[in-house]
Each structure stands twice: as C-alpha cells, then as structure tokens.
Amino acid sequence: QKLTMLHWSTRGRTMHMTLSQREQQRAGEVFRRYDYNRSGGLDLAEVHDALGDLGLRPHERKEKLAVKEMCEQMGNELDFRAFCLLVQEREQQMRDSERERRLMLFQQYDTDHSGALSAEELLQVFKDMGVSPERDDERLAFLDAVLESDVDGSGEIEWNEFETLVQVVQQKIAQCRREREFRIYQQMQLPPDIFLNFRHMITSIHDVFRRYDTFGIGAISCKEVPVVLLESGFHKNLKHLEEVCMEDPMICQYLAHHERVDFAVLMRIAQRVEVASEGAKGQDIQRIFDKYDLDGSGFISEDELMKLMRDVGLDAWRDIAEV
C-alpha cells in the first residue's frame, strides 16, 4: 500500500513536508523520470536512481539500510508525497553527517583542546573541507568572514561560531568566484553561449591560458592550443587533441592563417573540440551497442544487456544487493 499522507512516522517522530515549492518541483521531475511504468510509485531500485539524480544517493551501508528501512515503512512503493518525505529525510541525514565531519575536523585541529581555532588553523580545516581560498580576493574574503563570525572578538573561532563561519565562507568564496567568472566574460568579450557552456571551468582555463601567454599580450601561439586544452581538462590525450585541431575544418582553417590565438578564439576552439569528443563517444557507444545486439534487431534484450554488464565488470544491482 502506498503512503499518501502528508506526513509519516519514523522512530517515534512525525515528519511533515518542509520542502519548498521549487524543491518539490525538482523532486517531481525526477520522480516522473524514474516512474517507468507510470504506476504513480517508485520501488527501491527506482528510488536509489532518483536519489542519485538529486545528489542524495546513499553510498555507505548504513545509509543504504536507512533508505531501505524508510521504504519498507512506507509500503515498499513510494508515491510522490512519500518520495518527497524521503528526500527530506536524506537531506537531513546528509546535513547531520556533514556536521559530524566538521566537528571531527574542528577537534582534530584544536590540538590544545581550547575549544577554539586560530585563522591559520582554520585555513587548514577549510582546505580539508574542499573550501580553501585559492586567490588573493578569496583569502581576503576568508579573513573578512573570520572577523565577521568572531562574535566575542577573541581572535579565534569557537565551535558555535564555526558553524556560522562555514556558511559565510562558502557564500563569500562563491561570490568571489562568480565575480571573477563575470570579469573574464566581460574582459575577454566572450559570446554568451560560450560563457554559459564553460562557466564552471572558465577560471581554470583562463589560468592555463595566462600561464602560456608568456609575453602578456593576451594571446598564445597556435602550436600551444592543444597543450592548453589538455591542461584545461578537455581530453587526457594530447595526440587526440592535435588530431581534432588538424581534422576539424574550422579549427584547421583558423590556425593555418593565424600565428596566435586570443582567449575568445581559444574558447571557440574548445567548443569545437568538445563537440568532436562527444561525437567520438557516441560512435564508441554505437559500436558497443552493435556488438551486443547479437540478433541485429536494433534492441538489446535483457540477456544481452546482462552479458554486456558482466563483460565490463558491472553489476546492475550491486548497490541495492549490498543492503
């Protein structure tokens, strides 16, 4: 029986729906995506996939058991409201887990057991958390956040101040990075489509570009283009990048008539390389599909699919079977 109430009871407590309208809308999109048979409910396997799309997939055995237990309490097949409550519970679990991790790091660097950390110790803590300031503006923002969070003016951060500091640092560093991305967009006069496509990596690409712009003229030599793309993470194979640059007609024509490439042109080339690489991946997938489509029907049967997965060392139900 599917759960259709707005709340459910677990471990002696009642959960009420607290997801915002936007969060429910996002959950609804994912729910419909994995409700393959349009039954209006998700089974355990579908729940795991849906949680994965929301960044909430359980990885540790304890987490998987908790999800399985919640599913069983809800009747093994979850309707949308029950799924939202499960999403809500997973988010809370992840927040609790993150809080425990932060506390462990705090205690680890509080070597004198004073219950407080200095700015230098905090830098190491945030580095271990993956939120380390990388540039001068980010370091200034970090120090500003420390001063802002040091409510008692002691010059150190206690645990109760630390939790606030984490949020402030994340916000300030994210703001610094957004501003830097936008400055690159404006100064390099990038087309909007290029900027939106590569915004998540635009600063790292620009850093590599500047490193190879040894004369500080805002351009690199054409011969350096494949190397810059390699170091920017567009492919792991330099030879592949060189071949794409030679074989793509637009890239080849530009490089043949110019000695240097500015950043905007480099990003245009990067876009062409990305398209070419995606096309190559598609061809590889098609070849794999054709290999396992033994009867040439244009479809892969369940047996053929299982053979494919065994051959590549995957078990479709491994994540679920562990619980």
Q: What is the pLDDT of residue 285?
A: 60
As a CATH number, domain 7-98 is: 1.10.238.10
Domain 110-183 has CATH 1.20.120: no
| Alpha-carbon dihedral 49, 53, 55, 60, rounded to 10 degrees | 10
CATH of domain 190-292: 1.10.238.10
> What does pLDDT average to in each consecutive run of 10 residues of the chain (323 residues)?
39 63 89 86 87 85 83 81 88 86 89 86 86 86 88 86 86 89 93 88 94 95 95 90 90 91 94 74 58 72 69 49 44
Position 200 scores a pLDDT of: 86
Where in the sequence of the chain do the CATH 1.10.238.10 domains occur? 7-98, 190-292
Measured between alpha carbons, how far is residue 144 from residues 138, 141, 182, 272, 288 in Å? 10, 5, 22, 41, 54
